[in-house]
Amino acid sequence: MIHLASQSPRRRELLALLGVEFGLLDVEVPEQRAPGEPPEDYVSRVAREKAGAGLLKVVGAPGALVLGADTEVVLDDEVFGKPADADDAARMLRRLAGRTHRVISAVWLLSAGCEGHAVNVSEVRFAELGEDEIAAYVASGECFGKAGAYAIQGRAGGFVAHLSGSYSGVMGLPLYETRVLLRRFGVAV
What is the set of domains in the chain, with CATH numbers? 2-185 (3.90.950.10)
Instruction: For the beta carbon of residue 180, count every other beta carbon within 10 angstroms.
Output: 14
Residue 136 CA to its chain's centroid (Å): 24
Convert the pLDDT of each residue in 150-177 to its tens digit.
Answer: 999 999 999 999 999 999 999 999 999 9
Under 8 Å between Cβ of 22 and 4: yes
Under 8 Å between Cβ of 106 and 69: yes
Q: Place 60 in a pLDDT band, splitting at 50, 70 and 90.
A: confident
Q: Place 90 in a pLDDT band, splitting at 50, 70 and 90.
A: very high
Under 8 Å between Cβ of 75 and 122: no
Model confidence, pTM: 0.94
Q: Given 26, 41, 70, 77, which residue is catalytic?
A: 70
- Cα(142)–Cα(28) distance, integer angstroms: 22
- Cα(101)–Cα(168) distance, integer angstroms: 16
70 in catalytic set:
yes
**Mean pLDDT of all residues in 72-95:** 97
- Cα(107)–Cα(18) distance, integer angstroms: 15
Closest by CA to 49, choosing from 21, 66, 68, is 68
Q: Which residues pair with 23 in a beta bridge?
A: 3
